[in-house]
Structures are given as C-alpha cells and as structure tokens.
Structure 1
Amino acid sequence: MSTPLFTRVPLRSFALATVMLACGINAQALEPPKPHPWRDARQLVLVVTENWDATAGTLQRFEMRDGHWQAASTAAPVSVGRNGAAWGLGLHAAQPQGPQKQEGDGRAPAGVFTLGEAFGYADKADTAMPYRPMQATSYCIDVPDSPLYNRIIDTRTEGEAAAKGSTEPMRLDLHNNGDVRYREGLVIGHNPTATPRAGSCIFAHLWRTPGEPTAGCTAMAADTMDGVLAWLRPDARPVFVLLPRTEYARLAREWQLPEAAR
C-alpha cells in the first residue's frame, strides 16, 4: 500500500488556516503568552524611557486585580543612567539585540527584576519590605574580582580590606558632604548570580536634583520613593520593570505587562 502524499486535515482546521493566511494573521500571534518567572507577581513598578540613550523616564505602580494589571499610581518622573539603559540580568530571558549592561557603563539595567530589601540612613522606614539601616561602615562592592561583588557589606564584620577599591559607600551623607541619594532606597535584583563585570549595586534611590542622571540606578523625588516604599508588600512578590518604549511595545503582550502611561 502506497503512502499518501498528503495527510488528511480536518475541514474546519483547513478552513481556519485558509482564512488566517488570507488575512495575514500569524498563528503564533494567537497563541496565549507562555508562563514567565514573574507570573506570581501582584505588584509591579514600571519605568519606561523613550529610547536606549534617554536619561529620564516615568515610573508608575500597578497592582494585579481580577487577573489584570490596574494602575495604583499616576506616572512620576525619574532619571536613569547617564548613558541611558542596557539589557540587564534578571528574571527575563536573555535579549541579544540591543546594548548589554556592563560594570561602569553608566547605563541602567533594562528587563524584569526582583525587588530586594529597602535601605536608608534612618534606623527604620515606613515600609513592609525588609529594611536595613546603613552605617558609616556599609559598602556595596562594585569590584568585579571581589568574592563579595554586588553585595552590601559591613566592614565591621567583613573587615576593612573587603571594601578596598569599592566606590559605593552606602552612607553618602557621611562620605560625600551630606549627599541625600541613599537616604531611602531599594535594591533592584540585577545580576543576582554576581557575574563579574555584568554590573553591580543597582538601586532605586533619591535624586539630589530633579532629573539628575545616575551611574546606572533609577532616581526619583522623595515623595515618589515614599509612595513606593509604603505600597510594596513582600507577599505580593513585587517586580521592577525598566524598558525603552520600543522594547516595551514589542514585549508587553509576551511578558504580560500593564499598559504604560504616555
């Protein structure tokens, strides 16, 4: 018995495929989005910039309600890296097209990231997030060859040598003439495996003056930061998303992101 040249296709499926082809519809576009590592997130902080080289953008908070992202705040201005943004290492899959975050490049990491502990100069803060008060001996290690790379340490326990070469004292007010930037902040979970030279010490923090670009973090006004800190809940598995607008438009459906304010 000879093998048929064509397998039998149900008439209904054939008709649907014919209509889709005639209308120029991509079958993959009709497939539901695949599950992603942040599918359990119920809070999302979204930062959108105009392009890869933009040094400013907007931040808006969203909550998952009845299976949909709903705005929990209006959009507020923020500043990002002095050279814009670049793909970071986080919860999202690697994105080979576009700039890639490197240590010292002056770019804020783009992608989807966990939100870690809050920190600041005060002994406590109005937040449900884990909070760590910073000391004169607190440093974030940005030395790529250090075994403590991308970690906040205290030299009272780790030793003075552990912070050798680090340019990130966490009490900027004591080390830089009253600098307010780290008075309140949040750790953004970029490069969680501490890959050397992939970028370190990425925070959301205050700005000194409105719109001042950063070395690679996201900076904002004190009232914006206060709103974020008071709103966040660890049990909501919050995530931080930063994307240039063109990448946001490309990935919003696949990554199941909320509609960004313009």
Structure 2
Amino acid sequence: MKTLLLLCSGLLFASSLQAGTDRRSGWTDARQLVLVTIPEWDSHDGTLHAFDRTDAGWRAARAPTPVSIGRAGAAWGIGLHEPQPGPRKREGDGRSPAGVFALGTAFGYARSARTGLPYAAMEAAHWCIDVADSPLYNRIVDAREVGTAAVAGSTEPMRLDLHAAGDQRYELGFVIEHNAAGEAGAGSCIFAHLWGKPGQPTAGCTAMAPPAMRDLLEWLDASRHPVFVLLPDSEYRRLQASWSLPRLP
C-alpha cells in the first residue's frame, strides 16, 4: 500500500472530527471492519479483530490482537448506530465509546506513514480540544492558526513526545469518529493509538502494540469505507445478527 502524506493546518484536519453528517450509508457500504470486543462493560482489556467483507460475507483479515481501552471500561458513544439502552459516554469518565464509528484521519509524529487512510503529520502546535464548552470541542487544531488562547485548558497535545517527556503513545494512530458533531460533554478526542505500557488502560481510547498498529494501518483503505466497532460480549451477542456483524468463535 502506498505511503500517503497529508499536510494539514488549522481547521482542515479538525473537520474530520466534526463532519456532522449522517453516515449510516458508510456503515452499510463498509468493506473493512475493525472490531474490538471486551468481556464486560467495566473491562479495560479486549481483543481487536480485523475483517474484510467479501461476496460470501465477512472473513478475517488479520490475526486477533490484544488491546486496552478506557480504564473504566466502555459506554455507548455517538456514532453511526442508533441509540441503545445502557451507560452513555461522557467527558472525563474514563470509558471508551461503544458502538459503530467511522474512521477518520491517521496521524503520527513522522512526516508520512504507510496507510490507505489520509494521514496528518502532527507538530508541537497541534492540540485536540477536550474543553467541553469550547467552540472547538472535539477538534484537532493548530494553535498557530486558532491562537494560543483557543487551546488553553486542553489536556490533549498531539505531540506527547514534545509536551510529556518523550511519550510515544501518539507516535502513530487514527481518529475514531465518536461524537463527530461535537455535542458538549459527550466525549472527545477518541483515538486508536500505541500502548504506553503493554496492557495499560487509557482515558477512553483504544491502545495496542506498535507492530499491531503498523499492520492495521497498512491494511486500512479509506476507499473501502472502514468502520470501527467496540462492544462488550453480551451486546455483541445481542446485536450481531441485526447489525450484520461477523460471527466470532
């Protein structure tokens, strides 16, 4: 798969988190599926599966790999699925959003990456805004474009290595488009990214080993309308048939 380089500034990249459109047709047309299952709502460890949709149905595209999610488990997010009964994702709750989500831009510290997703190289001025009452809530912005006052209070610099003593978690990852319309307080800055330590839970993202992330990004192809699904085992059993999800062993 060819290397893609996308040089983004200001709100051009931010728009990937705030599309604000109904993309259920993208779910129907999805030809790639990134699936994370967890044992219970409060579990913070899970398994990631990757599937291709063929004329015969879903088939495994990669071997399952362990991942970590939010330290408090999961709760229903805002994505391509209809609202469901159960816990709902809120800002700062330590839960990863459950449901079906479009994949946004891949990002990282390098100038380019091997992926079929659009890619944005992060710099020290890039921040994801997790301040719930900000008009830029749930957007990745460039402080050089929006001003330093606009990123004040945010706890999500996209170059963690430069802001947090060499932290490599955001060296490579991609956006999971939870709460794309930016509903205040409904949760923000949800990514798939690298583990801090193997098995270490996150604040609400999905984390994995670097080789697993590189392999996943090389496989992902935006033209195949990939989606990300995260569900506890009980919800997966309940929804597998009606959501046309693959059967798991």
Same fold (TM over 0.5): yes
- How far residue 66 of structure 1 moved from its aligned partner, in angstroms, is 1.1
Deviation per CA, 1:112-153: give whole Å up to 9, x if none. Answer: 000000000001001121100110010000001111000000
Distance 1:194 1:253 in 2: 30
Q: 1:249 aligns to what? A: 237
Q: Is the 8 A contact 1:206 1:219 kept in 2?
A: yes
Percent sequence identity over aligned pairs: 60
Q: Does 1:128 align with 2:102?
A: no
Q: Is the 8 A contact 2:98 2:231 kept in 1?
A: yes
**Residues 1-262 of structure 1 aligned to structure 2 (within 5 Å):** 38-95=27-84, 97-261=85-249
Structure 2: any 5+ residue segments left out of the alignment?
1-23
Q: Is the 8 A contact 1:37 1:92 kept in 2?
A: no
For 2:96, the aligned partner's letter is: A
Q: Is the 8 A contact 2:30 2:227 kept in 1?
A: yes
- How far residue 245 of structure 1 moved from its aligned partner, in angstroms, is 0.2
Distance 1:249 1:128 in 2: 31
Distance 1:258 1:154 in 2: 39
Bigger share in strand: 2
- How far residue 260 of structure 1 moved from its aligned partner, in angstroms, is 2.7
Distance 1:170 1:36 in 2: 30
- The higher relative CO (CA closer than 8 Å, separation ≥ 6) is in 2
Q: Is the 8 A contact 1:107 1:215 kept in 2?
A: yes
Structure 1: any 5+ residue segments left out of the alignment?
1-34
Distance 1:258 1:152 in 2: 33
SS in 1 for 2:97: strand
For 1:43, the aligned partner's letter is: Q
Q: Is the 8 A contact 1:204 1:218 kept in 2?
A: yes
Larger Rg belongs to: 1
Q: In angstroms, what is the RMSD of aligned CA positions?
A: 1.1
- How far residue 67 of structure 1 moved from its aligned partner, in angstroms, is 4.0
For 1:174, the aligned partner's letter is: L
Aligned residue pair count: 226
> What TM-score does the superposition give when structure 1 sets the normalisation length?
0.85
Q: Is the 8 A contact 2:96 2:205 kept in 1?
A: yes
Distance 1:178 1:74 in 2: 30
- How far residue 243 of structure 1 moved from its aligned partner, in angstroms, is 0.1
Distance 1:174 1:260 in 2: 41
Distance 1:241 1:140 in 2: 22
For 1:52, the aligned partner's letter is: W
Distance 2:212 2:26 in 1: 27
SS in 2 for 1:72: strand
Deviation per CA, 1:71-104: give whole Å up to 9, x if none. Answer: 0011100000000000000000001x21100000
Q: Is the 8 A contact 2:30 2:225 kept in 1?
A: yes
